[in-house]
Each structure stands twice: as C-alpha cells, then as structure tokens.
Chain A
Amino acid sequence: MKSVVNFFLNGKAQEKEVKPDATVLEMLRNSYELNGTKEGCGEGDCGACTVVIGEVFNGKIRYKPVAGCLYLAAKLEGKHLITIEGLSSGDNLHPIQKAVLEAHATQCGFCTPGVIMSLLSVYLEHDKPDAETFRRYLEGNLCRCTGYITIRQVPEYVGSLNIKSKDMRPAFLAATEEQQLKLASEDILTGNGKSEFFSPVSAESLRGFLSEKLKSGNLQGMTFINGGSDVVVGIKKMHRKYSLIVDLARIESLGKVEDSGEFISAGGNVTLSDLADGLKQSLPVLSRTILQMCSEQIRSNATIAGNIVNASPVADTVPVLMAMGAEIVLDGPGGTRIVPIREFYHGYKQTENKPEEWIQSVRIPKNRFNYINFEKVSKRREVDISSVNSAVALKISDGVITDAGVAYGGVAPFTVFMPETAASLTGREFCEETFRNAGDIAFDEARPISDVRGSAEYRKGLLKNLMIRHFIASESMLGEVIL
C-alpha cells in the first residue's frame, strides 16, 4: 500500500501526492503550468481537454484518448499521460500538427489541442485508420469554428507527408513503455481521513478494506468509480462530496470478457470501448449501441457497470441488457449474488445493490434470442443522450416470434421491461403489422413525462414508432435506416 501515484508525463517519470478529487486537467494546469489542455465545459462533453493515456493492456502498452476534466489524477498509477506539449519540441512539429496547420483545420485554436490529441490516439493504435475510425475518435471534439470539414481533411494531409506509422510515435515512448511494463502493481490509498481515494489491485484486498471500514462504522459518503465519468461530473458540477472514492479500474479479475457458449460475461471494469470492440462479432447490437452512446474520450474509461448502477432512465446499454434478460453478478464483503437486471431498479436512481457491493460482471444469455435490436432517438444523432431508447430481443422460428423481451428507456423513472408489449409479440408472425400492434400496446404501457429532452407527447409517439423501427431494422433495405 502506498500513498503516492507514480506515472509518466510526456516521457518523464513522476511521483506525486494528489488530492482524491483532483482531475488530470486541474493537475496539468495548476501544478505543471501545462496550459495546452483546455477546459471547455468541465463535464466531458466538448473534448477540449482531451489527453492521451498509455496503459498496460494484455502485456502491451496501448494508448487512448481521455477527457482530462473527468479523469482523476489519482487514477494515473502506472500510466503515461501525454499532453499536447509532449508532441513537439521547439519548432519541430509532429506530423499531425503539421497537417492541421496545412489543412487550415484550426481557427480560434481553443479546441485544437484536444482535436490533435484525439488524432494522435488514432494514429498510435491504428496503422491504416479508415473514415469510420476517425469519426469514432473525433465525435467527442466539439469545434464551433471549422464546421469540422477541414478537420476531416487532416488525415489526407498526414498521408501526403508520407510518414511511417512508427514515426507518428513520440520518441520518448520506447523508453516509457519498457518502464511501464516493469512496474509492480500495488494498492494505493491517498488523502486524509476526511477524503480518501483507495485503488486496490485485487478483489480480495478490496473485500478486506471494506470489511474493516464496515466494522469501524458505515460507508456513508463512499462511492465506487471506474471511469468516473458520472461520479466526477457529480463532484465538479453538483458539488457532491465523498469521504471515500474506491476505484475498481485496477482490479484485474474484473477486466475479462468471457464467452461460455451459454453466456457472454463482461467484467465490471471492462471499458465500453473494449466491450464495443470485443463484442463486434458475438453481440453486434451491444457493440453498435456503445458506439452510438458517447464519445471515445468517455468510452475509453467508462464501463457497462457504471452505465447500469448510475441508473439513468436513459442509459443506452440497459434496454439491450434488459430485453435480453441479462443478469448482474454483485460482489461485496458479504459474498457474491446474482440479480436479474429486470429486477435491479426500484425507483428513480434506486438500485438493488448495497452501498458496499460492486458489479463483478454482467452475464448476457447468448442463445435465448436470435433477433436483437436497439433504437435510440436524440436531438443530435451523434453523441447525445437519448430522449427515448428501446431494445427488443426476439426468438423467431419459421417466421413466428416464440419468445420476446422488450425494454424502453426515457419513458419512466428508470429503464423498464415491458411485459405486455413483449407478450403481444409472442406467438405472432414476424411482420410489420405485429410490430404496429406492439407499438400500440407499448403506447399504453408507459407514462412518460416532459423534460428538456422531449415532451410526454413526443415520447408517447416514440413508444409506438420505435417498435416499427425495430421491424424496419430487420429488413435488408438499409436505405430505411437513417443512422
């Protein structure tokens, strides 16, 4: 157990005591006077604070874009934090910087460092990135000047520079990677009694730590975090105070995605990004859902477990899990238990897990359904929170639906399983009429309210129409799918 964080910053080793709730953005600007990383919104929605983090993954170092305003500095243990200042020295520009300049892809310049760091993470991880990859990595970088068009041209300018992909790597990476791979894992406890950050490397040590805490009192004011994309917004924007932040992200046993043939099991700290990549073949619907729900800067650290326990009524992964009848494996000082996700929510932001329980894994049955679809409607098509979302999971045999799961978000205080709508699909022919009818049932089965993301009337309409989209999505005529 140690109280300092060891990490690399632009190639140089650092050892630092950090405040439990200090973010990377705050640390860079306040302690290092590295002001190239900008604050545009402070809640992970604009990308101006994008930094690249290098971390050990499957015995290698991989690099990912991260929203510096939501990433706690205490999470940096063993990581390599790369900022815009690390890309060039003096007048020698990195090829991406040159290309941005040549493409006229910078105007006011405020978003530019973030854009460049997102591009860097693409080039560090992809030899020949395609347009879809650039889109995936750049959707989280808001720019109000360029209309993105010149930014989209940057890869072609990079191409015209004829740079070998290894030369896209900052020179200091060779040395830091070697050192990173040698670092030993150790539990970290920082802060004082009023405010602590605990980052265990095993479930055993976490269980032990929490048991001790339970003995000496209660766990009020404690929160788990993984990516922290919800918790840190709470701390910074809603001024929530936590006496103890427990980071699950370094527990190795929570990091696996397994396919047992019967279940796909996603560990509690598997990032959304890894899940989207890992499930591309085995569960493409969830992969697509994840790629639609947020930016890469968030996906790179946020987890499906976080999406579940945050209990947002418009969480995007939850309808899919609910429709498919997934189960949540909870762990804690009292041992493990399994809860069906359909029974996990009790009210607005009320969940089944006890404060000291964390999600060990999510188990998704593989073979029960053979048609699964997710639909979401949001004001902006890309990287926006849903007004209404919905998933269906169906078993179709000989053109007849024999088993059905239906879930909707944004129509109740939490994501809801809709048994009547599901029942109305079961035993019916797989055709538009069936879904129209189910839409009518769904229309009556939920009572949405009005808020900033849509009126009750609109949500009612979507209850109905998303059922039709569930049908259309099955048709080969992809022309009928706008997204």
Chain B
Amino acid sequence: MKTETMPQKSTEKEVKQVVVSSDSGAGANPVDAFVKSGKVGSSPSHLSGREHVTGRSQFIDDIPKPRNMLYVKVLTSPVAHGIVRELDCEEARKVPGVKAVLTYRDIPGENQIGAILPDETCLAEEHVHFVGEPVAVVAAETAEIAEEAMGKIRLNIEELTPVLTIDDAVAKNQFVGPIRKIERGNVDEMLKNSPHYLEGKVVNGGQEHFYLETQSALAIPEDSGAITIYSSTQNPNEIQRMASNVLGKPQSEVTVDVKRIGGGFGGKESQATSWASIAALAAHHTGLPCLCKLDREEDMISTGKRHVFESTYRVGFDDNGKILAFDVVLCSNAGAVADASTSILERAMLHADNIYNIDNIRVIGKPCRTNLHPATAFRGFGGPQGILVIETILEIIANKLKIDPFDIRLRNIYKEGDKAHYGEPVKNVRHMETILKKLRHDSDWDERKRKVAEFNAKNKYLKKGLGVAPVKFGISFTAAHLNQAGSLVHVYFDGSVSVSHGAIEMGQEVNTKIGQIAATTLGVPLSTVRVESTNTKRVANSSPTAASSGCDLNGQAVENAAMQIHERLTEFAKTLFNVSGVRFEDGMVYAGEAGKVNYAEPLISFNELIKKAYFQRVDLTAHGFYASPGIWFDREKGVGNPFLYFVYGAGVTEVTVDTLTGQTKLDYVRILHDSGQSLNPAVDIGQIYGAYIQAYGWATTEELVYSEGGKLLSNSPATYKIPTYGDVPTEFYAELFSGSTNELGVKRSKANGEPPFIYGESVLFAIADAIASTGKYPVNLSIPATPEKVWKEFCSEAG
C-alpha cells in the first residue's frame, strides 16, 4: 500500500544531514528557512514544545481533577513467592473516606491481563509470584486515606522458596514460553575443526526505565456502562483489550485516550496495563473517577525492567580472527510472567549475528520463569543483549590475536548479498562497511589509540581505553501482525487539519514527524496541522508504539490518508481551474506539473479551495491504513524474512578508569548513524544522544540490587543512578550518515528509536580495554561495569 511521495522542488530534495557536536551549539543548527519550514527533512520545533517549556503540557496527573475523583492505592505482595493464607479487608473498608477495597473476587470479567500469553492476573488469587505483585486495591477520597486504609488490610502469606536466578530456573525447567532455535551450517563439526576455540559466558544486568512520569491512569465512568481511561501508556489498544476483559465489557465500551506520556522506553508497552485496569476496576465499582498513580518507589519495585541475560557460548575462529563457528544459548530472566519475553528473546536471537557473516551458527533461546517482577520491553528489545555476546567475543579474540577492534570487525562483516542466519538477505549492508571505515577515520581511531597507549605508559593509576560498537538493527515487529497502522485525517471547513494516528507521543516526536508528513503531503504549512491525542475511538486496533516503528507505520498510514484527500482535491482543482495539473505547497495551489510549476501566480489558497470543495460535497476526511509488505517468520523452523529493512551505524568511545576505585569517566564519543533520508535531523540526532547516554547508564552505573528474598533494594533515584548532566563529555559528536536512502521507509527515512542504544556497549569495551592495558584482561566484567566490578578486575590475580 505504499503511496507515492509528492514531487518536491529541487532545492528541497536534498535532505540536510547535520553534524552536531555537543559544544557547537547554535552554530550547528542553521536556523534557516528550510529548517523552519516544517517540511519533511527539516527540523521544526517540537510540536508540543511550547506546551513543554511553559509547563502547560498535561500528563495524567495534570489533567484537572474531575469532581469527586478517588485516589487509588494498590497493596502489593511483600514476598517473592507464597500462598495467600489470609486477605482480610474489613478494617480497611471501615476507614472513613474509603469508597472501595477490592480483591480478585471483585473482578466482574476475567482476572487476566497477559496480552501475549495469558499468564498474568490483574490481582493475585491464591498465589503471589513476585514482590510488588498487585493483591488488593483501595479507592478513597484522598491519597492519605487510601494509604491509611491500605495499612489496615490483613495480608498473610505463607512464604515459599523463590526462584530468582537463571541457573535455578533452568535447573527446575521453568520457562515462560518454548525454547527456540535458529541454526545454519554445521556448528559442531566446525567448532572441532577451527584453529582456535573459545568458550565462555556473557552476562548483562537489567535496567529500570526511569521514565520521569511514573505509571498513571485515570478512569472515568461514562453513561450506558462505558468507561474512558486516560493512561500513560505506549499501548492504548492493549489497555482497551485487557481492561474490557477484566470488566467483562465489550471493547467498544472502553475508550483509551493518550495525549502524551512522560517517557516510556518500552516500560509502558505492557506494564501500564495493570494500573489502567485497576483504575478502571475501581471506577466500575464506585461509579466515580479514579486516579491510580504510582509513586517512584512503588513503580520501581512493581514494574518490569530490561531482561537480565546470561549467555553461554562456544566459538571457533582462524588466525585472522574470522569466526568459523558460533554456538550460543541465550537465557533471559523473564520474571514471574511472560509479558513480552518471548518476543524479546526472539529479537535477541535474531540479532546474535549483529553485522557478521557466520556460516556455522546456532542460537538457542530460553526464557526463564523466576520470582522477580516481570521483565519487559526496553529500548532495543533484546537486541542489545543478543549483540552484546558476539561483540564481546570479538573483543576477546581481538585481544588474544592482537588485532585492532575495527580490523577484526571488518574481517567478519557481511557483504552485500549475504543472508542472515535466519535466511533474510542483509540488504544494503555495504553501508555498514562504509560507516565503519568513515568512523575510524573521523574519530582519529589509530592516532587516538597511540595517544591512549602513551597516556597509559605515563600514568600509574589512571588508565584509558577505547571501544567501538557497530549495529545492524532489524526494523519491524517480529510478530508480523503488529506491522500495521491506521489513521484518520480531517480537513475542516477553514482549512485546518486534524491528524489522528495510532502512535504515542513520548518525546521521540512522532507527532512532529507525522505532522511534517501530513503537511508535506497536503502541501500546507505545519502550523495548520494539529496532531491529536491517540484515541481508540479514532484509530482502532493500533499496535504499540514500540520496535522503533511508531513513525514508520503510522507515518505511512497518515501519508496514505493525506494522499487520498490530496488526490480528491487535485481532481477538484483541475476541474475547477481547467488545468492539466496542480501543485499544493505551503497553503497555496499552483498550476503545473512537477518541474514546470507556475509559482509566480497561485490559482487559489488552500483554505479557499477547501471551502469550494466543501460546497461541492468533496469528502474532506480520510482513513488511512498501512501494512508492511513481505514480512514473515517461522518460529518453529527459525527461518524467515522478519525485517522490512535494517538500520546501520557505529559508535566509538574513549574512557578513563581509576584503577584505585574503579570509577569511569567518559572522555570522547563519536557516532555515525544511518537514518536513511532523515524526516527531521534534529529529532534523529536527539534520539541518538539520548539512546547512547541511556545505554551508558546501563553499561556503568545503573545497578539493580536485590535482597536475598527477591526485593529490589535499589528502588529509588537515591540508590539507582541514571546518568546526569556531568556524566556527558564535552567531546560528543553524532552525525547522520549521508549515503543512505530507504525506499521502504516513510519518505525514504529509517526508524531511529532503538538502534543507537547499541553504541553504548562501546563503553564496556573501552573499560575492558583500559583494564587490559594493565595486562589483566577482564575476567568477570559485565554490564553494568560498576566501580566495584571494575575495581575487582584490577585486583584480580588473573593475567
């Protein structure tokens, strides 16, 4: 259903590729007419920017409180595993101001909110499976009363031994889904016959999303049994489905509306469902509006995080560092329920090759069920964990054989025409080699390496290190059915435009980009386009805003709708003015064909044309639809064409490490990233910055520490440390690769949200390089490479 793009004036065809250095400021963002134009390829301001900078943007807790609104508090399990022996709410119900105290017995529909696999209750029944699992709900006139009443609920749980680790789950054969395999060539044979052999384990910690707006939902009862839920979610469709399931209502009676969310990063893809369903349940029982907003600690303890992976590998390679055989078992700690764990593991398996052509490869994935909070989607969705293994292996081999990190990667890289281990041709992978070579040059890698060695020779206690991390990231949901999107575009009588689509605005500026697409397609100024909240009544059956695909899918659906209106208006104008062709641009209508447009004299303004079209009964509304073509994947066989296209790029990092304390400091970062023909270069650069620093946090300071009983101890920003302002080096450069285009992406762009996260893995390799400079190659270093872990490497006796 790919629609044709509008022909553009030649000056605008060139998409500006910006190089932005962290300290170059205003000069690097030319504020010229094109940048301000709002057309595709320009960098207009954030569509919600004025609201954000004035504090007027409404998040859930900022919506003016409806009359008689109740505050909802959720009693959660204090233990990781147990049998509920007593749940007595009588005393709590007696507290003045309490309107309802609810347990699973009060659920009118089905007590089930697992969207992919039905294994997740809304409220616990006889068993509790993790610390923070919702057990009972209090709705009261104030948050303080709700809190007080919650303290009066008697909950007695007989504790059972929890399973907390991957090893324990594997030993007990506890998985949330089937064990999967992707295999090509003859791995065992080749492992035996390779000149060199290595085996080992790669481990990464989890990661808390730490979106600034905590999980929140406001449910408002409507007449005729309907209910409207305002939720901070990336996935309104799932909330509509699950809340209606819990309430025992048809989906048509449940509306979900999302204006924007205060950060998501995957943490509100399925993890918002619980709180929205609970708010809806309380509203259903009380007949009053109910707000369920978690405080930071509740959020951190109860909600899902990035998956911990422990992956064991065996690898065979030759003297040049070329990998001949690779055998890996990826084990993820899925927590207590399936959530999206099977899909996340699948993406990890599909990224185990990263950018390398390995003829003999076997990837096995095991999603382990434990008694931790569910693990869930988080930027990269398993990709970072899958890629980490092969990249770590290349680092080890490079160190062993004394090969430069760039050289070893170039020796293993895919060539155009090669197929990935699951059979899909790795299209346009030639760009990857260009990117690596250019980055090596632009980062002064070889000279930098020499200077680092010089520094290390001079300094006794401080050591520097360098790392590089490339990425090939597959774009599309691996669940093929999710690769669809809908839209609804209205042009009103006055010429203003209203755009609805299924994606969620969460800071990635999907609304800005989609506004640009609509404005460019209709030929109107961006200022006349309003991008609406995401609402299940306007766009049904939407996919979550995830997999970096929000703009790809919904942008094409909007382009499709706008194109329909554009075509109707074109026909109407041609007849009206009796011309053979018309062109719409910047709110004016001109006569002529592409290349031969008479810009001197417009035929009519867009707004005037719309009035005329209305009186002639031209339909000024269109529903658009898009489904990615040619996508399939056979899970049983491990083969298919799961991705529409790939995003490429690479990042280089230099760090200084203090050998006495293990503390790390970022010194230099340079990134070269492929956004295709960028829709909005400033937004894409912003995504790269944010993704890298988020990954830097994952790789260094963000440590999830649990008690022996499985309770998260680093459960507040006082103990869980995401990066802050001072962590960012002055020398931070991100550039969009100028040699790429993408016929399959919306307006030739590429998806941008997740792939840059991978560059942060170069921090780990840079730290390892610094440690290796002392002659001790890291033995147990893992993500996060906290000061303590780094310090331990320097203390180790191993060489």
Residues of B with C-beta under 8 A to A461 = 791, 795
**Is residue A248 within 8 Å, beta carbon to beta carbon, of the partner chain?**
no
**Is residue B799 within 8 Å, beta carbon to beta carbon, of the partner chain?**
no
A46 lies within 8 A of B717 (CB):
yes
Which stretch from A133-141, A253-261, A268-276 is at the chain B interface? A133-141
**Is residue B630 within 8 Å, beta carbon to beta carbon, of the partner chain?**
no
Residues of B with C-beta under 8 A to A322 = none
**Is residue B581 within 8 Å, beta carbon to beta carbon, of the partner chain?**
no
**Is residue A59 within 8 Å, beta carbon to beta carbon, of the partner chain?**
no
Residues of A with C-beta under 8 A to B31 = 102
Q: How far is the CA of A410 from the CA of B214 in the complex (A)?
A: 31
Give B706's nearest chain A residue, CB to CB: A452
Main secondary structure of the interface of A (DSSP, over half): loop
Q: How far is the CA of A139 from the CA of B506 in the complex (A)?
A: 23
A-facing residues in B201-244 (Cβ within 8 Å): 209-214
B694 lies within 8 A of A147 (CB):
yes
Question: Could you give, for residues 228-265 of chain A, a 1 whenever the CB lies within 8 Å of some chain B CB and a 0 otherwise?
Answer: 00000000010100000000000000000000000000
**Is residue B43 within 8 Å, beta carbon to beta carbon, of the partner chain?**
yes
Give A383's nearest chain B residue, CB to CB: B724
B727 lies within 8 A of A84 (CB):
no
A45 lies within 8 A of B716 (CB):
yes
**Is residue A152 within 8 Å, beta carbon to beta carbon, of the partner chain?**
yes
Given A135-B725, A454-B788, A465-B660, A143 and B212 contact (CB-CB distance below 8 Å): yes
B661 lies within 8 A of A112 (CB):
no
B263 lies within 8 A of A146 (CB):
no
A85 lies within 8 A of B213 (CB):
no
Contact count A vs B, C-beta below 8 Å: 259
Q: How far is the CA of A97 from the CA of B57 in the complex (A)?
A: 14
B212 lies within 8 A of A146 (CB):
no
**Is residue A403 within 8 Å, beta carbon to beta carbon, of the partner chain?**
no
B67 CB, min distance to chain A CBs, angstroms: 14
Question: Could you give, for residues 98-110 of chain A, a 1 whenever the CB lies within 8 Å of some chain B CB and a 0 otherwise?
Answer: 1011111011111
Which stretch from B48-56, B444-452, B490-498 is at the chain A interface? B48-56
B54 lies within 8 A of A480 (CB):
no
Give A233's nearest chain B residue, CB to CB: B718
Residues of B with C-beta under 8 A to A84 = 54-55
Q: How far is the CA of A156 from the CA of B22 in the complex (A)?
A: 11
Q: How far is the CA of A108 from the CA of B263 in the complex (A)?
A: 6
A464 CB, min distance to chain B CBs, angstroms: 9
**Is residue B45 within 8 Å, beta carbon to beta carbon, of the partner chain?**
yes
Given A381-B663, A469-B661, A153 and B212 contact (CB-CB distance below 8 Å): no
B728 lies within 8 A of A149 (CB):
yes
B-facing residues in A26-56 (Cβ within 8 Å): 29, 33-43, 45-46, 48
B22 lies within 8 A of A153 (CB):
yes
**Is residue B462 within 8 Å, beta carbon to beta carbon, of the partner chain?**
yes
Residues of A with C-beta under 8 A to B23 = 152-153
**Is residue B689 within 8 Å, beta carbon to beta carbon, of the partner chain?**
yes
**Is residue B25 within 8 Å, beta carbon to beta carbon, of the partner chain?**
yes
B726 lies within 8 A of A480 (CB):
no
B54 lies within 8 A of A97 (CB):
yes
Query: Of A93, A138, A377, which is within 8 A of B725 by CB?
Result: A138
Q: How far is the CA of A338 from the CA of B274 in the complex (A)?
A: 56
Which stretch from B58-66, B121-129, B350-358, B481-489 is at the chain A interface? B58-66
A-facing residues in B696-754 (Cβ within 8 Å): 701, 703, 705, 713-714, 716-719, 721-728, 732
B728 lies within 8 A of A109 (CB):
no
Q: How far is the CA of A403 from the CA of B50 in the complex (A)?
A: 60
Query: Of A37, A45, A454, which is within 8 A of B717 by CB?
Result: A45
Give A154's nearest chain B residue, CB to CB: B25
B46 lies within 8 A of A148 (CB):
no
**Is residue A159 within 8 Å, beta carbon to beta carbon, of the partner chain?**
yes
B724 lies within 8 A of A380 (CB):
yes
Q: How far is the CA of A153 from the CA of B20 in the complex (A)?
A: 11
Query: Of A46, A112, A160, A479, which is within 8 A of B459 by CB?
Result: A479
A-facing residues in B615-667 (Cβ within 8 Å): 656, 658, 660-663, 665
**Is residue A157 within 8 Å, beta carbon to beta carbon, of the partner chain?**
yes
Residues of B with C-beta under 8 A to A480 = 459-462
Given A46-B717, A156-B26, A380-B701, A35 and B61 contact (CB-CB distance below 8 Å): yes
B53 lies within 8 A of A100 (CB):
yes
Residues of B with C-beta under 8 A to A150 = 686, 689
Given A144-B265, A452-B714, A468-B461, A113 and B508 contact (CB-CB distance below 8 Å): no
Question: Could you give, for residues 766-793 of chain B, a 1 whenever the CB lies within 8 Å of some chain A CB and a 0 otherwise?
Answer: 0000000000000000000011100110
B54 lies within 8 A of A108 (CB):
no
Q: How far is the CA of A39 from the CA of B719 in the complex (A)?
A: 18
Residues of A with C-beta under 8 A to B25 = 103, 153, 155-157, 159-160
Given A379-B786, A468-B660, A145 and B507 contact (CB-CB distance below 8 Å): yes
**Is residue A384 within 8 Å, beta carbon to beta carbon, of the partner chain?**
yes
Residues of A with C-beta under 8 A to B24 = 153
Q: How far is the CA of A87 from the CA of B462 in the complex (A)?
A: 45
**Is residue B514 within 8 Å, beta carbon to beta carbon, of the partner chain?**
no
Q: Which of A39, A108, A143 has the most CB of B within 10 A?
A: A108
Given A112-B52, A379-B701, A147 and B717 contact (CB-CB distance below 8 Å): no
Q: How far is the CA of A379 from the CA of B459 in the complex (A)?
A: 23
**Is residue B297 within 8 Å, beta carbon to beta carbon, of the partner chain?**
yes
Given A108-B260, A468-B461, A101 and B50 contact (CB-CB distance below 8 Å): yes
Question: Could you give, for residues 386-418 of chain A, a 1 whenever the CB lies within 8 Å of some chain B CB and a 0 otherwise?
Answer: 010000000000000000000000000000000
Give B656's nearest chain A residue, CB to CB: A482
Question: Could you give, for residues 284-303 of chain A, a 1 whenever the CB lies within 8 Å of some chain B CB and a 0 otherwise?
Answer: 00000000000000000000
Q: How far is the CA of A452 from the CA of B263 in the complex (A)?
A: 26
**Is residue B336 within 8 Å, beta carbon to beta carbon, of the partner chain?**
no
**Is residue B693 within 8 Å, beta carbon to beta carbon, of the partner chain?**
yes
**Is residue B138 within 8 Å, beta carbon to beta carbon, of the partner chain?**
no
Query: Of A41, A139, A380, which is within 8 A of B716 by CB?
Result: A41
Give B506's nearest chain A residue, CB to CB: A108
A139 lies within 8 A of B725 (CB):
yes
**Is residue A453 within 8 Å, beta carbon to beta carbon, of the partner chain?**
yes
A130 CB, min distance to chain B CBs, angstroms: 13
Q: How far is the CA of A239 from the CA of B144 in the complex (A)?
A: 10
Given A109-B260, A381-B663, A146 and B718 contact (CB-CB distance below 8 Å): no
**Is residue B425 within 8 Å, beta carbon to beta carbon, of the partner chain?**
no
B-facing residues in A345-400 (Cβ within 8 Å): 377-385, 387
Give B51's nearest chain A residue, CB to CB: A109
B788 lies within 8 A of A106 (CB):
no
A-facing residues in B498-541 (Cβ within 8 Å): 506-509
Residues of A with C-beta under 8 A to B602 = none
B262 lies within 8 A of A93 (CB):
no
Give B263's nearest chain A residue, CB to CB: A108
Query: Of A144, A148, A469, which is within 8 A of B212 by CB?
Result: A144
The 8 closest A-B pairs by CB, nearest first: A36-B55, A156-B25, A108-B507, A147-B693, A110-B262, A109-B52, A107-B507, A84-B55
- The contact sample of 23 A-B pairs, CB cut-off 8 A, is A36-B55, A40-B212, A40-B214, A41-B296, A48-B212, A97-B54, A104-B682, A104-B683, A108-B263, A109-B48, A110-B263, A141-B725, A144-B263, A147-B689, A147-B691, A152-B22, A152-B23, A380-B701, A381-B726, A452-B719, A465-B661, A479-B459, A480-B462
